[in-house]
Amino acid sequence: GPAFPTQGIWKSLGVESYDRAVIRDIMVDTKPDPKTPNRWTLAVSAHIETGSQTPLDAIIDITLDGKPLVAKHSQRLTADPLGAVKADFVITIPEDIPITAWYPNGVADNTQQLYSLQVRLSFPDSQEVSAQTKRIGFRTIRLVQSPTPGDGLTFYFEVNGHPVFAKGSNWIPANVLQEDLTEAYVRDLLVSARSANMNMLRVWGGGVYESDVFYGLADELGIMIWQDMMYACAAYPCARGQHEYVAWVYESDVFYGLADELGIMIWQDMMYACAPYPVNPEFLLSVDVEISQQIRRLQHHPSIAIWAGNNEIEAVIAAFVSDERHKQDYRELFVKHMQTLVTDGDTSRPFVTSSPSNGLRDKLENYTAKNPGDLRYGDVHSYNYMSPQWDWTVYPRGKFISEYGQLSYPSLDTWLTALPDSDMTYPTSAGVRHRNRLGFFNGTKVIEGLSGNYFEMPAPGGVDRFADLIYLSQITQAMAIKTQTELYRRDREVDPQTGFGGTMGALYWQLNDIWPAPTWASI
């Protein structure tokens, strides 16, 4: 969709003051007692900020649904040079607090029980109090990567010991202007996903870190979240193989004045070209702060199943990058920095450096695999715009298909919110073709070509013939996604010769869209 980044202050802003200290974040880890399944251990880490370099005597209380877990615990807080201090607790949940495990939608008991965890910080010599409350769920999650026939590895999630086939979609920002997004709209989209029996959504790395509302609803609805970090589709090599971040110059006033006089329109690029993400110290520090903040903000949500470092950057490197310096930069950012921060900061769920990737196998190729979409390992992104879409044999048999899909036109009502009746024609008008964002492919020809494999195309005409084209494109899309999804749902066995198959996840691209245009989206 269009790129309209919001400018200025668009979230709530306030001034905060405190004398002693304030709780900034709460992180948790839940584990069942191996001897008593209904008993759980809860690890709590309270991240505290203080402006004092003098140790502070503090009192910490922790409750679960209002029932005490830790009462009047005295602790001396000694901050690091940045004023940060962490208070850690490992608590066995008492027998008088019964725990119901959290499960994804449709799995096992299908329970999404949430509990209110409060950490309260006070001081013996002050009336000052700081408290934070989080809704948490009790569950364990594991990414199982075990050897398979054909020199492969499984790739599936296990929740509370139950293997889970991840079925769902990919989520993009629900509004290009995030300040206009409402809780009701986000709820409607997520409830729709649950109603369609989905149990996982992948938050795509080309969008935004979603709101607390989004993750809270995912917790409630039992929708696991594959969480990309917000890095996507970059690391293009320079044409001359140079390691640069700025290309040429903005032209002079004379240049633009002459263009005005001579009637020469200018396509004005900004002076950034052919570069990967930088790895200068200032940028890496910004990344470190960003990742640390997001991990601490989101870690307590039981719905988050996995962290992924980026969307498709390892795949871009494999396809286009030969300069070893670019690969070293990639590893500096996504392995040395991001992977270290995530795995040190959150031991309760897995991390992969990229999506797609070969999972554990990636380490053998120093995280820049020649083929990061190897069907024997990890997750795969699959798009096919050339073959007949209703033939299951044209689709790859991977372990976990985290992107796949097909284009169609949206409804006529949707089109008419953006274009006049005069653009509703077949063959398609310039206005319709302009809204097709398929990159290297001609999206109009893709839609018409694939539909033409199965249907006679409409006769030339106006709005009625365009409506016919819309209908045919949507049937083609629906049958294509149905065919591919059914392959993945039944393809549980691994071919011992190739190592292909053993699929345990299918997330089609994409659940939602943000503007009226040809789209992969179902909503």
To the query of whether residue 179 is one of the catalytic residues in this protein, the response is no
| HSE value, Cβ hemisphere, 13 Å, CA-based, for 308 | 28
Give the range among 54-63, 132-141, 280-289, 296-305 with minimum mean pLDDT: 280-289
Which segments of the chain belong to CATH 3.20.20.80? 141-171+379-522
Out of 210, 314, 403, 448, which one is annotated catalytic? 403
Query: Which part of the chain has CATH 2.60.40.10?
Result: 21-136
Q: Of 312, 365, 448, 486, which residue is the catalytic one? A: 312
What was the pLDDT predicted at 245?
A: 37
**410 neighbors 443 (Cβ within 8 angstroms):** no
Instruction: Give the tens place of pLDDT for each residue, 32-60.
Output: 988 787 799 999 999 999 998 899 999 99
In CATH terms, the superfamily for domain 141-171+379-522 is Glycosidases (3.20.20.80)
Q: What is the DSSP string of 170-193?
A: EE--S-SSGGG--HHHHHHHHHHH
List the Cα angle 168/477/420 in 5-degree steps.
110
| Token pair in block for residue 265 | 């329109």
Tell me what the pLDDT averaged over the chain comes to.
91
Per-residue pLDDT tens digits for 360-380? 999 999 999 999 999 999 999
- Element containing residue 468 per DSSP (H, E): helix 463-490
Q: Is 403 a catalytic residue?
A: yes
Q: What is the rounded average pLDDT of the residues 73-100?
A: 95
pLDDT band per the 50, 70, 90 thresholds, residue 440? low
Contact 70, 60 (CB under 8 A): yes
pLDDT for position 263: 84
pLDDT of 224 over the 90 cut? yes
Report the topology of domain 21-136: Immunoglobulin-like (2.60.40)
Q: Which of 54, 49, 90, 83 is nearest to 69 (CA)?
A: 90
